[in-house]
Structure formats: structure tokens, C-alpha cells
């Protein structure tokens, strides 16, 4: 129960000065091999671990960043894409010596708390995800001089537009999916569009509409739309039912996420529609759900690996005080059994 050893204890144990110990801790340049070895042995013996607060008081860096989920309703990680993002960022940031934490900012208390953590230096920065509309969080993290290092996963709306972000080209991907359904000869097209107060939700709907307007409207194809307020499986089930009530002859549907599409499949099965024979179904994300689905889902592959790398790059740049440009990534259509 004695006090944990400090750098002075290690120095005494190794027979060198604290400066030398500090140098070993920070890469060991300008230290003789003998001294370095003596210090390492002393650290081992004393079970020394550097004090986080003392170090970060000088460096003005904590080495910790947060992935912030700004959405309250959701079951957090119900959607495997969030989980994928978390793991990817975790590994990517570790290479740069940063630790990643997941945290929630879905009400006034948690939002305030997050901003304080950023301003007080507990966190070096944050990556925002699942932000809806013009979330008050945007204004809060844009305030101050310097403003906290915050980047956005997905395209921000409202005040958040001033944040650096990484997104995929949702609109053009949605166009491609829609054209694919038309090429399959489908005539009664539907979309289960995601929440219209998120960038991806809006863009995917726009892409669907624009592909329809361009190539389909003239040829007598009809289109139907249903919206959701989130990306949960349950909402996918409900929206699919609503869509079929509106359009009983529906023969193809583009669903704005794989998780929503999983729900849509449940409803279709329950209502006795065969996929893809009666209704073709396409998703978005190419998450594990698309491969596991029965039948396997045609979907859009988001380049998660690349997106993660870019998010890490943007965040580190912001922490370094720079102002990086937003990133837009291309997606790939993955055709499977459901269309």
C-alpha cells in the first residue's frame, strides 16, 4: 500500500538523473545504451508506470479520444456498422498512441459533459456519429478558440457542416442500386428511406429519386416511398408493411441500410412474398447482416477500412491544429441473391 514509484525513484534506483529516465520514457534518443538498460531494469524492478496527469499537464495531450454516439433512441450497437467503426478506429488510433473510448451524448447532461471533457483536456478530440438534424452538440463543439478537435463520421447537417467529415457518396451509390433494380426488369419500385434528418438518409433518397426521374419515369415505372426515423430492424419491419399497403404490386425495394433491410425481409416473409421472385430487395452498408440474411442481400459496400483510416487522419490533423478538408468515398455495388 506504499505510494507508487515516481520518476525520481526510478532515477535513484538506476543511478541516473530524472532527465535521463524521462528521455528513456520518450524514445530514448540521446541516451547511452548502458544508461538506457539501467533505467529499463529499474523501471521493471520498481514496477513503474508514468503518471498520466503529470505527463499530460506538460504535453497538453491526453492520448485519449472518444467515439461519440449522439443518438438516444437506438440500442447503441444494434447496428453492426457502429461496432465495426469502433473496432476499426480503436486499432487505427492505437497505431498513433491514442486510446479510444465510446461515449454517449444524447441529452443535455451528457452533451455538456462531453464538451467539458474536451475543453479540460481529458480528451484530445472526438469523432461524432449518429447525429440527427441540427443537433445542439454541433454548436457546442464549434464554440471556443481554439475549438475542440471534433470530426464527423457521415455527412453533417445544420451547423455541423463546418466540421471536417468522412462520408461515402450516398447519392451516386443509391442511383446505382436503383438502376440495378430497373435493369432487373422491375416496374414497381419502392424505397425504405432512412431518417431524413441525417445526411446519409437524405442523400440515399435523393439518389433513388434522381435515378427514377432520369430513366424510369418516362417508361411507365412507378415509385413509392416510406421513411423511417432511425435505422433499427423494427422500423424496417414497419416501413416495409406501410410500403406494401401503399403499393401492393411492389416488385422491388431499395432499403437504406442492411439492418432496416433485415427488418424488411421479416415483414416480406410474414406477408408471404418471396424474395427475390416477388420482390427484389437491396440494402446498404454490406455489413455482416447482408451476408447472413436469407437470401443474401444485394447491397452497397462501404469501404470501412478506408473510411476508418481517413477519420483517424482527419482527427489527428484537427488535434494538431489543422483544418483538413472533408472526404467523400466511392462505394461498390455488391449483387447477391436478393435481387
Partner DNA sequence: CAAGTGAGTGGGACCGGTCCCATCGTAGCA
Partner DNA sequence: TGCTACGATGGGACCGGTCCCACTCACTTG
Contact residues toward a second copy (CB under 8 A) are 1-2, 4, 47, 49-57, 62-64, 66, 75-78, 80, 82-83, 86-87, 90, 94, 99-104, 109-110, 113, 116-117, 119-122, 144-146, 234, 288, 292
CB 14 to DNA: min, Å: 9
Q: Do the beta carbons of residue 155 and residue 204 sit within 8 Å?
A: no
78 or 278: CB nearest a second copy: 78
33 or 220: CB nearest DNA: 33
Binding residues (CB under 7 A) for DNA: these are: 3-4, 6-8, 15-23, 25-26, 30-32, 34-35, 48, 50-51, 54-55, 57-59
DSSP alpha helix (H) spans, the chain: 7-14, 18-25, 33-46, 52-59, 80-94, 108-119, 136-142, 170-183, 199-211, 233-246, 258-270, 288-292, 304-319
CB 112 to a second copy: min, Å: 11
What DSSP designation does 216 have? I
Across the chain, which distance is largest between two alpha carbons, in Å? 87
16 or 163: CB nearest DNA: 16
87 binds, among a second copy, DNA, none (CB under 5 to 8 A by kind): a second copy
22 binds, among DNA, a second copy, none (CB under 5 to 8 A by kind): DNA
CB 28 to DNA: min, Å: 9
CB 32 to DNA: min, Å: 4
Cα first-last separation, the chain: 66
CB 23 to DNA: min, Å: 6
The Cα-based distances of 125 to 46, 63, 183 in angstroms read 33, 9, 45
Instruction: Report the DSSP beta bridge partners of residue 101.
Output: 66
Q: Rounded to an integer, what distance in angstroms lies between the CA atom of residue 51 and that of residue 26?
A: 13
DSSP alpha helix (H) spans, 247-336: 258-270, 288-292, 304-319
133 binds, among DNA, a second copy, none (CB under 5 to 8 A by kind): none
Amino acid at each position: 500500500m506504499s505510494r507508487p514509484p515516481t520518476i525520481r525513484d526510478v532515477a535513484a534506483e538506476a543511478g541516473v538523473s530524472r532527465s535521463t529516465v524521462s528521455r528513456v520514457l520518450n524514445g530514448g534518443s540521446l541516451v547511452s545504451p548502458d544508461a538506457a538498460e539501467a533505467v529499463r531494469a529499474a523501471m521493471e524492478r520498481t514496477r513503474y508506470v508514468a503518471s498520466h496527469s503529470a505527463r499530460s499537464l506538460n504535453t497538453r495531450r491526453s492520448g485519449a479520444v472518444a467515439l461519440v454516439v449522439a443518438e438516444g433512441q437506438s440500442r447503441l450497437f444494434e447496428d453492426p456498422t457502429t461496432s465495426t467503426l469502433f473496432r476499426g478506429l480503436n486499432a487505427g488510433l492505437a497505431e498513433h498512441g491514442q486510446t479510444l473510448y465510446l461515449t454517449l451524448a444524447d441529452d443535455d447532461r451528457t452533451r455538456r459533459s462531453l464538451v467539458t471533457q474536451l475543453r479540460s483536456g481529458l480528451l484530445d478530440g472526438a469523432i461524432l456519429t449518429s447525429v440527427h438534424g441540427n443537433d445542439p452538440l454541433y454548436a457546442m463543439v464549434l464554440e471556443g478558440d481554439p475549438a475542440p478537435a471534433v470530426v464527423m463520421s457521415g455527412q453533417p447537417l445544420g451547423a455541423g457542416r463546418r466540421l471536417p467529415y468522412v462520408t461515402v457518396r450516398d447519392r451516386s451509390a443509391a442511383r446505382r442500386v436503383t438502376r440495378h433494380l430497373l435493369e432487373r426488369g422491375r416496374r414497381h419500385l419502392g424505397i425504405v428511406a432512412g431518417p431524413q434528418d441525417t445526411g446519409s438518409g437524405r442523400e440515399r433518397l435523393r439518389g433513388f429519386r434522381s435515378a427514377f426521374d432520369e430513366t424510369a419515369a418516362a417508361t411507365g415505372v412507378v415509385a413509392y416511398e416510406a421513411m423511417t426515423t432511425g435505422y433499427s430492424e423494427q422500423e424496417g419491419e414497419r416501413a416495409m408493411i406501410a410500403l406494401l399497403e401503399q403499393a401492393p404490386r411492389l416488385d422491388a425495394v431499395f432499403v437504406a441500410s442492411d439492418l432496416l433491410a433485415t427488418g424488411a425481409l421479416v415483414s416480406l416473409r410474414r406477408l408471404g412474398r418471396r424474395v427475390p421472385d416477388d420482390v427484389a430487395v437491396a440494402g446498404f452498408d454490406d455489413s455482416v447482416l447482408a451476408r447472413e440474411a436469407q437470401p443474401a442481400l444485394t447491397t452497397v459496400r462501404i469501404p470501412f477500412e478506408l473510411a476508418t483510416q481517413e477519420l483517424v487522419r482527419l482527427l489527428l490533423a484537427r488535434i494538431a491544429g489543422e483544418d483538413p478538408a472533408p472526404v467523400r468515398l466511392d462505394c461498390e455495388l455488391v449483387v447477391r441473391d436478393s435481387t
